[in-house]
Chain A
């Protein structure tokens, strides 16, 4: 098996179109205004996302999908991470794979909408659930798609990441592992690789322009070498996600590969977010600089579904 990780022309097109849409409609600085929080900005372009083919991108044509695969889906997931897009978009991408024939068309067209429920020991969080008709429940056992009205009463709660709207709910959905659970885990990993790449770019841009002692701070090795570390972590996480996507189902131990991607991307997202804040100095500590948003989102997504302890167990299985 020979793997080529350079994007094909078609994959480049997929990337260009999603990036074009996100740059215009979901710039990161939208989150400075609270009316864009909770997935509001995403709901406003839900039809555009459906028209772009996001919901069903990696679904086989005979099941009504676009007929691409995991590589194209991870390209999208990474772009979503870089823009701090609502996790609900990933939930919807997964929902079409989980749905039965009766439900799938409405999810693909965007008429029905999905949101994540993170089920953990002692509770469950519904994330950006406004207007959702379905919940993609994730937890230790895997994943399940359920109707939103199966969840108990929603009670709003504020998490570390104030840019998402969260409600405490209850669920008795029975979760299952398998290929779709792995797909979800890989998409979340790649979303986090997108976070790591965005903070690398943010730190580098700041290091190029911020001047102290009469020169850009990026000329100093103390900063330059930190930026190199940001690049190293982002590259490791991203290429592991891409490699896993391309080789999925081709004889590697997919469970181990996905778990490696998940662990690396989670650590890269968090470490890069912290270092980006540090490189931004005083500005990095303020609410008006976007650096803190990446830190908060890294914590949120790395806790979604499979726990770190479980991820490690799978790697060593």
Chain B
């Protein structure tokens, strides 16, 4: 436990801060649709041109090759500068890209990684199915080998930005006779391939951020398989939950700002009494704990090659706290806070934050993981 003081890192921080001050888009990010996607791609391209894209990715694929500490500084400054969320670039930058870096072959890395960093192609994730959610390895979407192609039939759901993405990381069952974790392959699916049909799904917030995808005899080259045929579970698990904590920094800083703003507004409006004071003090303390937990997770990431299951503690704290904070604003500020379209749009923020704690691992699955993989309790049926 110590403070790392370094003139070199201070200089790096200065450089990041200056670049962000000059380049973070001033226009508000569209909430939805192709306009949002185009905004995200343009911002990605701008970061690429400035030499900041893929901050921690290897240089040979267009990344910056920054150290863990530099990456942390980038994320901190990015959040302070109100940099836009990665949005429709999230899967490409935080999941598909790192998976290819870990498990892809050279041709796949050359073909796909620079296209991500240049903002030419965004990705979506085809993992969950209507009957395979938390129990992901029950997935049924079938792929049969036909010559040098896979032929895919089935469906995927909760495909975030599926209707706006160019590529998809797709988990398919290539051998139904093998044990369920062993017959799965991880393939790259071009969303423009004939037979792919995407039906957008409207969320409870009113935004259309995800979709269901249907595959009807979709032919995908075998060369798009990442890792071994039938080795897809291992490929997926290497990066699922591969979280050094730096990715949580923007969310944590945003939630911290939101909480401080709420407290300031409560004071300004004379709403601070013993009861609201007790609630707000607890929320602020919990937000401070989230910050400290994030720092602890990043600290572990500095010394461990593959971070352990403790990341679930940070994710769980964030998911539950963001709902509490956003929900409390509605209670505190009364009927006017129920109006849509304001700044901030309290109902929108509130309704949207229910996605945390469901997508990417429900709070219940995370509690299982903490119980089994952090505390060493006996495994239940959901263990993976």
A contact residues around B272 at 8 Å (CB): 316
CA distance A134 to B172 in the complex (A): 72
Which single member of A5, A215, A227, A260 contacts B285 (CB below 8 Å)? A260
A153 contacts B by Cβ under 8 Å: no
0/1 interface trace, chain B 24-46, chain A, CB 8 Å (1 if under): 00000000000000000000000
A6 with B299: CB separation less than 8 A:
yes
Q: Quick check: A219 and B288 within 8 Å, CB to CB?
A: no
Chain A residues positioned under 8 Å from B217 (CB to CB): none
The answer, among B278, B284, B290, B378, for a CB contact under 8 Å with A215, is B378
Give the docked Cα–Cα distance between A262 and B129 (Å). Answer: 45
| In contact, A232 and B370 (Cβ under 8 angstroms) | yes
Residues of B within 8 A of A204 (CB): 375-377
A228: shortest Cβ distance to chain B, in Å? 4
Name the distance in Å between A10's Cβ and chain B's nearest Cβ: 10
How many chain B residues touch A (Cβ–Cβ < 8 Å)? Answer: 52
A1-B76 Cα distance, complex, nearest whole Å: 11
Asked if A232 meets B300 with Cβ closer than 8 Å, knowing A242-B1, A242-B292, the reply is no
Interface-centre pick from B6, B286, B300, B371 (highest chain A CB count, 10 A): B371
The chain A residue with its CB closest to the CB of B372 is: A224
Q: With the chains together, A231 CA to B311 CA distance in Å?
A: 12
Decide: B73 and A2 in contact? CB cutoff 8 A.
yes
Residues in A neighbouring B380, C-beta threshold 8 A: 219-221, 224
Contact residue among A208, A223, A263 (Cβ-Cβ distance under 8 Å from B282): A263
Residue among A216, A218, A256 facing the most chain B CB atoms (10 A cut-off)? A218
Q: Is B377 touching A219 in the complex (CB atoms < 8 A)? A: yes
CB pair B364–A221 under 8 Å, yes or no, is yes
The segment from A26-34, A37-45, A175-183, A233-241 found at the interface with B is A233-241
Chain A residues lying within 8 Å of B302, measured Cβ to Cβ, are 4, 6
Q: Which of B5, B292, B310, B364 sits near A243, CB closer than 8 Å? A: B292
Q: Contact partner of B291 among A2, A225, A229, A243, CB < 8 A?
A: A243
Q: How far is the CA of A212 from the CA of B272 in the complex (A)?
A: 49
Nearest-Cβ distance from residue B356 to partner chain A, whole angstroms = 15
**Contact indicator B3/A246 (Cβ below 8 Å):** yes
**CB interface residues, B 257-305, toward A, < 8 Å:** 263, 267, 272, 274, 277-278, 280-282, 284-286, 288-293, 295-296, 299-300, 302-303
B368 interface neighbour in A71, A221, A240, A267, Cβ under 8 Å: A221
- Count of A interface residues, CB-CB < 8 Å: 54
Q: Which residues of B contact A264 (CB under 8 A)?
A: 285-286, 288-289
Q: Is B343 an interface residue (CB 8 A)?
A: no
A215–B302 Cα distance when bound, in Å, is 38
A239 close to B292 (CB less than 8 A)? yes
Tell me if B303 and A6 are in contact (CB < 8 A): yes
B69 sits at the interface (CB 8 A):
yes
Q: A228-B370, A240-B288, A260-B284 are in contact. Are A6 and B295 (CB under 8 A)?
A: no
Q: How far is the CB of B310 from the nearest CB of chain A, in Å?
A: 8
**Contact partner, B281, options A1, A2, A316, Cβ 8 Å:** A316
Report the bound CA distance from A231 to B309 in whole Å: 12
Can you spell out 28 A-B residue pairs with CB atoms less than 8 angstroms apart? A2-B3, A4-B4, A5-B1, A5-B296, A7-B1, A216-B378, A218-B378, A219-B380, A221-B364, A225-B364, A225-B368, A225-B371, A228-B367, A228-B368, A232-B313, A232-B317, A240-B289, A243-B292, A247-B3, A259-B285, A260-B289, A263-B285, A264-B288, A264-B289, A313-B277, A316-B263, A316-B272, A316-B284
- Further pairs besides A4-B1, A4-B299: 19, Cβ < 8 Å: A3-B4, A5-B296, A6-B303, A7-B1, A8-B1, A71-B1, A71-B2, A225-B367, A231-B374, A232-B313, A235-B293, A243-B295, A243-B296, A244-B292, A257-B288, A263-B285, A309-B274, A311-B281, A316-B280
